[in-house]
Amino acid sequence: MSPTTAPGQRAAGPARGSRGADVWREVTHHGLFWPLLALVLLILACGVASPGFLDVTVRDGHLFGQLVDLMRNSATPLLLALGMCLVIATGGIDLSVGAVMAIALAVSLTYLDNAADPSAPGTVLTAVLLGLAVGGLGGMFNGAMVAGLGIQPFIATMILMVAGRGIAMLITQGQITTVTSPPFKSIGSGFVLGVPTPVVIAVVTFGLVVLLVRRTALGMFLESIGINREASRLAGVRSRRTTWTVYVIAGVLAGLAGLVYGAPTMAADANNIGLMKELDAIMVVVLGGTKLDGGRFYLGGLLVGAMLLSTLERAVIIFQLPSQTTPLFKALVLIAVCVAASPTLRAMLRGRRRADRSDAPAAPVETTPAQEVTA
Amino acid sequence: MSTDEMVRAERPAATVVHRARRALSGFDRRFLPVLGTILTLMIMLGVGQERYSTERVDFISMKLLSNLLVDNSYLLVLAVGMTFVILTGGIDLSVGAVVALVGLSIAEMFSAGLPIVVVLPVAVLIGTTCGLLIGVMVQVFDIQPFIASLAVMFLARGLANVISVNSLKIDDDGFSALAAWSLKFGEGRELWRINASIVVALSVLLIAFLVLHYTRFGRSVYGLGAGDGGAAVNLMGLRPARTRVWVYVISGTCAGIAGVLFALYTKSGFNLTGIGMELDAIAAVVIGGTLLSGGVGFVLGTGAGVLVYGLIQVLIAREGLDSWWTRVFIGVVLLAFVVLQRVLAVRRR
């Protein structure tokens, strides 16, 4: 499951390769090497194309600059991808997150709209909690289908994906509900200690999820379920309950992402909020080095993936390309990263290299434990 | 399971009855999801007949059927292609974007002055190429079908956006003639027609049926989905690698044909067509009784699934409900079918 080359295939001969070559090989075989390389190159290219790109200034006590904007834009995909990554680790997938975003925002804003004083902190807090609860409810439905009834995750979550947008439209009565509530708006466009609120929310959530997953046994359970559900059940992992929990977490995070995404405009556009965001989230997870098969997952990779996605979207504008060509570049990056990370290509390259110097067996390479990425 | 155990306890007394029942249920269960689809279709037709028939015109008529087929011919072709992919246990998310790309390419090629005999084959080949790309990524580079087809979806959508972000009108005499051509049957209110889209869509369905059930390739497709990621097919001496590439090529080609049909239907190309169309196709396949895990399903069931899908829209429109109810209803129907399939699968075990 881990992005390693099978160490057993390498002849354990005398270590003739230099130390530097070993490190180099270890680095390039790391699951995050290609996405990180792509990100750095992209940011540098943007910096060259638009000289002010890398500047970060402090204005009115707030951080300003393109990089800060990029991080703000990464918040939503990161939140979605966090939940998605956990779900994918169990061997599942959650297609409903985009629709859940729309439902959560619709419920929150409809509640604010009907409230006596939309700006009162208590009301806003209730609205936020309501949005998160609705997200959790969506997750519970998904979890019940997947863990309870044993339906394939793809189709189980697709039901909510198809119906969810209709439900959001029912909640808003087909209107685009707009409200004015400065405290709610600040969730999306405010600052905490000079840092944009969405970034703070995303980073704090990320930290909490990492703590939850890596400081408890949950992460290991998830991986074991993803690798072999039946075996992990026999080993005493409560696979059903754990799977269910993961879908609920993904639902709550999707609800949160919906609030963060929709807060700046304060408009519950049920048709367009979160449209295709599930695909972006899955792309972030894949760019972060996690395989869709389930099992091993890398939360640290999500940071790189989310940044790569939003940088890509921004780069298209910076290079003065028409913004509607963005999908094209997404496709190219996705294909390039996937093919570069594919074991087949490595085997082909390695085969050629080995043929070149067939008398020099490579030094034994330890499996690259990508675990530290998650710390 | 408990019923099985009870039956087993009574076995000496009721061997014959049991064996007969088992033979019957063994036959039944394979077709049960499809029977469920057909039953749903019947119920919906019954409801429609009950509520919307007037004294002069029945709801159920050849006219309804021909309208359903005209409105959903592109979806039928997409769903047929999708059936191949899903039978192998894969998925193809790119088809909606390919439909948009093909539509715009057709418009662009006509405005460049190419004749129709060149344009239509090239348009279909665009779809084939997209499918081939997915197939190669899936088979050679071992990328999951979901991600590979997602990448091609982005690619096709991006290319469509590059061609044009405006709706391009297709005004070619030959193309318009093809779109307008139809065989008419009946008279007055009973008038119904068969147009080129119906002919193409039904031909695709028929060919797919023959290929899946009467060729070695068809057996390989089922084998890929049923047997351990192609290992079983390989052991049987069939060709898993080639088959896996071919199903994506077929799906891509079907998407190309569907793009042509959609262009015939709308007489234009637009870069935002087909968003979510892949989900419609997948939903139709699932409603038609094909399991997403692969290996189980019938392409004719897919045909029935498409009819159910189209009928939902007709009923919602007749009922005067807002269009977003369509999505909720499709979700509910999907839910019902998935749960039904699950119950059947559990009982089989």
Domain boundary assignment for chain B: 32-46+59-183+190-348
Angle at A137 (CA atoms; ends A131, A142), nearest 5 degrees: 130
The domain containing residue A176 runs over which residues?
61-358+368-374
Within-domain flag for A33: no
Rg of the Cα atoms in chain A: 22
CB contact under 8 A, A338 and B326: no
Residues in CB range of B48: below 8 A, 6 or more apart: B59, B60, B64, B311, B314, B315, B318
Contact A325 B327 (CB under 8 A): no
Asked if A246 and A153 touch (Cβ cutoff 8 Å), the reply is no
Answer yes or no: are the C-beta atoms of A89 and A112 closer than 8 Å: no
Answer whether A338 sits within 8 Å of B148, measured CB to CB.
Answer: yes
Report, as an integer, the average pLDDT of A14-43.
73
CA B76 from centre of chain: 5
In angstroms, rounded to a whole number, what is the distance separating the alpha carbons of residues B282 and B178?
29
pLDDT at B252: 96
**Residue A343, token pair as written in the block:** 């074991």
Which residue among A164, A275, A293 places its CB closest to the CB of B144? A293
Look at phi and psi of residue B294 and say left if phi exceeds 0, alpha if psi is from -120 to 50, else beta.
left
Closest approach of A2 to chain B, Cα-based (Å): 15
A54 found inside a domain: no
Contact B334 A155 (CB under 8 A): yes
User: For the domain with range B32-46+59-183+190-348, which CATH number is right: 3.40.50, 1.10.3470, 1.10.1760, 1.20.1300?
Assistant: 1.10.3470
In a domain, A49, yes or no: no
**CA of A164 vs chain B CAs: smallest distance (Å):** 7
Concatenated DSSP letters of B85-117: HHHTT-----HHHHHHHHHHHHHHHHHTT--HH
pLDDT for residue B16: 61
Cα–Cα distance, B84 to A103 (Å, whole number): 34
Q: How far is B348 from chain A (nearest CA, A)?
A: 15
Backbone dihedral region for residue B85 (phi beyond 0: left; psi -120 to 50: alpha; all else: beta): alpha
Torsion of CA A324, A329, A330, A332, to 10 degrees: 150
- B166, B280, B308, B334: best to mutate for the A interface, most A CBs within 10 A: B334
Query: What pLDDT sits at residue A9?
Result: 40
Structure confidence at residue B18 as a pLDDT band (50, 70, 90): low
> Is A336 in CB contact (< 8 Å) with chain B?
no
Give the pLDDT confidence score for residue A322 in this predicted structure.
81
pLDDT, average across residues A277-295: 86
In chain B, positions 71-110, which contact chain A (CB-CB < 8 Å)? 91, 93
A144 secondary structure, DSSP code: I
Flag whether residue B342 sits within 8 Å of chain A, measured between CB atoms.
yes
Count the domains in chain A. Answer: 1
Residues with Cβ within 8 Å of A239's Cβ and at least 6 positions away in sequence, in order, are A147, A221, A225, A229, A232, A233
| Concatenated DSSP letters of B166-223 | SPEE---HHHHHHHH-EEEES-GGG-EEEEHHHHHHHHHHHHHHHHHHHSHHHHHHHH
- pLDDT for A371 equals 39
Do B146 and A93 count as a contact with CB atoms less than 8 A apart?
A: yes
Pairing of strands A267-268, A195-196: unpaired
Question: Within a domain: residue A9?
Answer: no
More confident residue, B345 or B1: B345
Residue A366 reports pLDDT greater than 50: no
Does residue A39 fall inside a structural domain?
no
Q: Is A29 helix (H, G, I), strand (E, B) or coil?
A: coil
Whether A160 has its CB under 8 Å from any CB of chain B: the answer is yes
Rounded-to-integer distance, Cα B135 and Cα B255, Å: 14
- pLDDT band at residue B334 using 50, 70 and 90 as cut-offs: confident
Is the per-residue pLDDT at A8 higher than 60? no
Is residue B260 scored above 80 in pLDDT? yes
Q: Check if A349 contacts B (Cβ < 8 Å).
A: no
Question: CB of B299 within 8 A of CB of B205?
Answer: yes
pLDDT at A82: 93
Q: Do A335 and B286 touch (CB under 8 A)?
A: no
Asked if the C-beta of B283 comes within 8 angstroms of chain A's C-beta atoms, the answer is yes
> Choosing among B162, B167, B324, which should be mutated to test the A contact, i.e. which has the most A CBs within 10 A?
B324
pLDDT of res. A248: 95
What share of chain A in percent tops pLDDT 70?
88
Q: Which of residues 222-241 of A touch B (CB under 8 A)?
A: none
Confidence of residue A3 (pLDDT cuts 50, 70, 90): very low
Q: Is A344 on the interface with B (CB under 8 A)?
A: yes
Residues A303 and B96: their CA atoms lie apart, in Å, by 30
Q: What is the C-alpha to C-alpha distance for residues B86 and B92, in angstroms, rounded to an integer?
A: 8
The helix/strand/coil state of B290 is coil
Residues A166, B327: C-beta atoms closer than 8 Å: yes
CB–CB contacts below 8 A, A to B: 135
Question: What local confidence, expressed as pLDDT, does residue B17 receive?
Answer: 61
Provide the CATH number for the domain around residue A241: 1.10.3470
Distance CA A269, CA A110 (A): 11
Q: Is residue A24 part of a domain?
A: no
Question: Is residue A32 a part of any domain in this protein?
Answer: no
8 Å CB contact of A292 and B144 = yes
Cross-strand pairs, B269: B168
- For residue B322 the two structure tokens come to 């807002």
Best residue in B93, B104, B130, B157 for a mutation probing chain A (most A CBs within 10 Å): B157
For residue A363, the tally of other CB atoms under 10 A from its CB is 18
Residue A368 has pLDDT above 90, yes or no: no
What does the pLDDT average to over A180-200?
A: 84
Chain A environment of B282 (Cβ under 8 Å): 155, 158
> Which structure tokens are listed for A266?
């304060």
Summarised one tens digit per residue, pLDDT across range B71-130 is 999 999 999 999 999 999 899 999 999 999 999 999 999 988 888 899 999 999 999 999
Rounded-to-integer distance, Cα B263 and Cα B257, Å: 10
Strand residues in A160-281 grouped as ranges (E):
177-178, 191-192, 195-196, 267-268
Measured CA distances, A126 to A108, A131, A142, A180, A261 (Å): 8, 9, 24, 16, 18
- Mean pLDDT, chain B, as a whole number? 84
Percent of chain B with pLDDT over 70: 89
Pairing label, strands B268-269, B168-169 = antiparallel
Mutate to test the interface with A, among B335, B337, B347, B348 (most CBs of A within 10 A): B335
Whether A352 maps to a domain, the answer reads: yes
Separation CA B256–CA B126 (nearest Å): 6
pLDDT for the residue numbered B269: 84
pLDDT confidence of B15, banded at 50, 70, 90? low
Q: What DSSP line would sit under A147-185, residue for residue? A: IIS---HHHHHHHHHHHHHHHHHHHTTTS-EE---HHHH
What was the pLDDT predicted at A6?
39
* Highest averaged pLDDT of the listed ranges A266-270, B58-62, B257-261: B257-261
The predicted pLDDT at position A363 comes to 41
pLDDT over 60 at B304, yes or no: yes
B333 touches chain A (CB under 8 A): no
Of A10-24, A142-156, B94-108, B173-187, the least confident? A10-24
Asked whether B140 and A344 are in contact (CB, 8 A), the reply is yes
